[in-house]
Structure 1
Amino acid sequence: MTAITARSTGVTTTSTQDVIALVGRILIAYLFIPAGFGKLMGFAGTVGYVASSGLPLPQVGAALAILVELGVGIAFLLGYKTRVAAIVLAVFTVLAAFFFHKYWAVPEAMKMMQQINFNKNIAIAGGLLGFAAFGPGRLSIDKR
């Protein structure tokens, strides 16, 4: 394995690390892109779900969720503006955890599932912040 230092970041990666970073981007994008597409295809239901959480302007919230999940998710997948995309997705994911997985405020029968989803969102945000810190690897638009 040959290490290469990226001029813009000072981060040295091997070809193995670059492949792992690509696989990581694919796996994380797999969460966002299909979800955004589903929200787009079921926009009325998405608006209803956002409204049920008590957030204001549910149409705007649903549209923003679609933009983030589809648009920013695709950018992240391709490694385009990856650091910014990762931060946007991390913030979005933490906000979704607090607004849609309030395990502390649900009936006992729903508590465990909501807590699992909350914790998964927080962990996903942590993974995204790793990409924000270290970049997408060389197999990305950012590194071309």
Structure 2
Amino acid sequence: MRVGRWEDSAVLVGRILIAALFVAGTLQKAASPEGAAGLLAGFGLPEWLIWPATLFNALAAFSLLTGFYLRPMALLLAGYCAVTSLFHLIPADPWQMSIFVKNWAIAGGCLVLAAHGGGRFVMTGR
């Protein structure tokens, strides 16, 4: 048993920090879906897609916080972050470009979690 390894604690804190983004995304979409729905509509996508995205954000946060099925969820999250970054690819708007880059950074962190797992502090389920 690996007791006292700082790496497992660091991975847990990293998972919590990434999960905070998806908790906030869930709450934001649920409380005020108009903004994200409008963004979808602006790209010619149906506004109702906001609800599966909200559910996915909630499941992602749960998986990141608990470690339950973390590897497959982290892989899905990397793809989700890559795809959703395209909504923010507006080179003339520095704020949107920072969100674009942030999404790719989160995708990178999720790929690391997918490859290496969630450390010692995970629920069962792979």
- TM-score of Structure 1 vs Structure 2, range by shorter chain: 0.7 to 0.9
Q: Determine what percentage of the aligned residue pairs are the same residue.
A: 32
Specify which of 45, 57, 65 is matched with residue 77 of structure 1. 65
Q: Which has the higher contact order (CA 8 A, sep 6+)?
A: 2
Structure 2 residue runs without a partner (length 5+): none
> Structure 2 matches for 1:62-101, cutoff 5 A?
62-98=50-86, 100-101=87-88
Let me know the Cα RMSD of the aligned residues: 1.9
Most deviating of 35-44 and 85-94:
35-44
Does structure 1 conserve the Cα–Cα contact (< 8 Å) formed by 2:19 and 2:60?
no
The CA distance in 2 between the partners of 1:73 and 1:55, in whole Å, is 27
Does structure 2 conserve the Cα–Cα contact (< 8 Å) formed by 1:68 and 1:89?
no
Q: Structure 2 length as normaliser, TM-score?
A: 0.88
Count of paired positions? 125
Does structure 1 conserve the Cα–Cα contact (< 8 Å) formed by 2:78 and 2:110?
yes
The reply on whether 1:126 has 2:108 as its aligned counterpart is yes
C-alpha deviation, 1:3, in angstroms: 4.5
Most deviating of 133-142 and 36-45:
36-45
Structure 1 segments, 4+ long, off by >3 Å, are none
Does structure 2 conserve the Cα–Cα contact (< 8 Å) formed by 1:97 and 1:118?
yes
C-alpha deviation, 1:43, in angstroms: 2.6
**3-state SS, counterpart of residue 138 of structure 1:** coil
The CA distance in 1 between the partners of 2:57 and 2:44, in whole Å, is 18
